[in-house]
Structure 1
Amino acid sequence: MWKQSNILANTASRLGLPDGPILKKAEELLRSLHSKGSLKSISDVAQTILCLDLAATQTTDAFDKETAIKLSGLKKSAYQTSLHTIEKMLGLEKALTVSDLCVQLSCTEAKAVAEEILDKYINSHKMLNDLSHPQYVAAAVYSACKSLNLKISKQQFIETSRLKPSQWKELSLEFEKFASTLESGFKRNKKIDTKNTPEVVTVTEEKVVLKRKDPEEVEEYDVWRQRILNEAYAALKSKEATEKS
C-alpha cells in the first residue's frame, strides 16, 4: 500500500496535479482496480496514470494527456485501449451521446444533423446490439460536420470511435451515405447571408420591381414560383382589359 501511495504521489507531481480530491479519487480507483485482479500487461505506473486520468474526469481537474501518455510508457492507441478497459472494469463506462461529443469537439451546430443521421442508420440496422459503442456517435457527428463544411480533426473522431483506421474508414463511408440522403437544408450552414437571400419579383402594371425579401420570410420555391406566375398573369389580364377599354 505504501509503494502504491508513493507511486501515486510521485506520478501526480510529475503531471502537475494538485494534492486533493483528484488524488483521493485516484487512490480509490486503484484500490478498486486491484481488488478485481491485476493487469499484468500494464505496469504499476501506467495503471496509476490511467486511474489519475479517470479521476480527473470525475473531479473535472485539468489533465495533461500528452505528458501522461509519455510517462505511461504506452503508445497512444494502447493508452486509450487500456483506459477504456479499466473504465469498463470499474463500471465507469458511460454511453457517449451526440450532444456530449458535439460539446467535447466544439461542433454543437452539427448536433441536429448528426442525430438525424444516427437515427437513419439505426433504423436501417435493426439487429445492432452494441449501440452503446462510441463508434456510431463518432461516425454520425463526423458525417454531419463534413456535410456542414465544419473544420474538424479526423484523428479525434477515430480516437473517440475506438476503431482501427481501416475500420473507421469503412464505417464513416457508410454513414456518409446516410448523410447524403438528408434534405439539402442540412447540407449547408444554417447561417443565412442576406446577400444571398433570394430576390422576390413583384409585378405591377407599369414595370417589374425587384425587392429583397426578409430572410425570415423566404418562401418555399414552389410556393414562390406559383405566386409569381399568378401575379404576372393577373397583371397582364388587367393591362389587356385597360387597353381594350
Structure 2
Amino acid sequence: MSSILQNNAERLGIRDSPTIQKAESFLRVLNTKPASKTISDVAKIIMCLDLAATALGQGFDKDTAVKLSGLRKSGYQNNLNNLEKILNLDKPITVSELCVQLSCTEVKDLAEKILANYQERDTKIKDLEHPQYVAAAVYTGCKLSNIRVDKIQFRAISRLKVAQWNELLEEFSKFATSLGLVSGKKRAKKGVEDQEVMESENIEAQPLKPKEKVEVIEEYEVWKERILQEATAEILRNEIK
C-alpha cells in the first residue's frame, strides 16, 4: 500500500517526507474505520495526501487529485469532508488555508476583509465556523480580482446545496459592492480616462503655429509721399549712371 501511496504522491508532485508520512498515518487510521470502506483504496490514498498537505500548509494539485481518484469533483469533496470527520480533522477552515488549498493566495487579504465586515454586519449568523462563509468570501475575492476559479469546487467546500450556494454568493456580491469593492475590469476605465487626459495635455502642449502676416493698408497721403520718394531716388540713380 505504501508503494501505491508513494507513486501517487509523485504524480501529485509531493516529494517531502513529512507530508507523505502524515498521509500514511491518516491511511492507517482510516483502514480501521468501517465508514471509510466505501471508498476505493486509490481514492482514499489521494485524499489522505490531500488532507496531509492541507494540515501542513502545503500546496496541492486538486484537479490532478480528482482525476486520479476516479471521482467527480463534487463526489471527491464530499468524501473528503467525511474523511475529515472520521479523522477528527474537520476544524473550521480559515481564509488563509482555503487560499493555499485552491492556489489563490493573492486574494487572501481581500477575502479576509470581506468576511470580517460581513460577520460584523450580520449579527444573525449563528455558526461562524461553518465553511460556507469562508468559501463565499474567497470566491467573491477571486471574482473581484478576475481570477478564474472552479465554482463547483467552492460549493463542495461550502457544504451547501446548489440553490443555497448561489443565494449566498449573490448576497456576498451585493455586500462587496456596498463596501465599494468592484471588479478589476471596471478599474480599467480609469486607465482609459488617464489616457484621454494625457492626449488632451499633449494637444495643449503643442506649439502654436506662427500667425500669418496681416496686410496693412496705407493711407493715401502716406502712399503718395512714399511713391514720390521712390521715384526721386530712381531718377538720381539714373543721372549718376
TM-score, normalising length: structure 1: 0.59
Q: What's the counterpart of residue 87 of structure 1?
A: 84
Question: Using a 3 Å threshold, how does the CA distance of structure 1 residues 72 and 124 change in structure 2: closer, same or farther?
Answer: same
Give yes or no for contact 1:8–1:48 (8 Å, CA) kept in 2: no
Match of 2:147 in 1: 151
Residue 108 of structure 1 pairs with residue 106 of structure 2: yes
The alpha-carbon deviation at position 15 of structure 1 amounts to: 4.5
Contact 2:30 2:87 in 1 (8 A): yes
Equivalent pair of 1:46/1:72 in contact (CA under 8 Å)? yes
Shift of 1:47: 2.1
The alpha carbon displacement at 1:54 in A equals 1.8
Structure 2 CA distance for partners of 1:193 and 1:96, relative to 1, 3 Å: farther
In 1, Cα distance between the equivalents of 2:16 and 2:182? 48
Query: How large is the RMSD of aligned CA atoms in angstroms?
Result: 3.7
Name the structure 1 match of 2:46.
49
The structure number with the bigger radius of gyration is 2
| Structure 2 residue aligned with 1:173 | 170
Matched, 1:78 2:72: no
Distance 1:144 1:117 in 2: 8
Q: What is the distance in 2 between the residues matched to 1:27 and 1:180?
A: 45
Once residues 171 and 196 of structure 1 are traced to their aligned partners in structure 2, the CA distance between those partners, rounded to angstroms, is: 36
Residue equivalent to 1:33? 30
The structure with the largest strand share of the pair is 1
How do 1:7-26 and structure 2 match up within 5 A?
7-16=1-10, 18=15, 20-26=17-23
Partner SS for 2:38: coil
Q: Would the alpha carbon gap of residues 75 and 59 (structure 1) be closer, same or farther in structure 2, given more than 3 Å must change?
A: same
Contact 1:15/1:64, CA 8 A, preserved across alignment: no
Distance apart, 1:43 and its partner CA: 2.7
Q: Deviations over 1:35-82 (max 9, x none)?
A: 454423223333233212222334566655444434433222111111
Task: Determine if contact 2:23/2:52 at 8 Å carries over to the other structure.
Answer: yes
Residue 143 of structure 1 contacts residue 176 of structure 1 at CA under 8 Å; is this kept in 2? yes
**Does the Cα contact within 8 Å between 2:155 and 2:165 map onto a contact in 1?**
yes
Correspondence list, 1:208-219, <5 A: none
Write the deviation string for residues 125-170 of structure 1: whole angstroms up to 9, x where unpaired: 4343322222212212333444x45233252533443334332211
1:120–1:68: structure 2 CA closer, same or farther, 3 Å change rule?
Answer: closer
Shift of 1:118: 2.5
How far apart in 2 are the matches of 1:111 and 1:65? Answer: 22
Whole-Å separation in 2 of the counterparts to 1:196 and 1:28? 58
1:187-226 alignment runs, 5 A limit: 187=182, 196=194
5+ residue gaps, structure 2: 198-203, 205-241
Q: Name structure 1 gaps, 5 residues minimum.
A: 1-6, 200-209, 211-245
> C-alpha offsets along residues 194-230 of structure 1, whole Å, 9 cap, x if unaligned?
9639x9xxxxxxxxxx9xxxxxxxxxxxxxxxxxxxx
Q: Which has the higher contact order (CA 8 A, sep 6+)?
A: 2
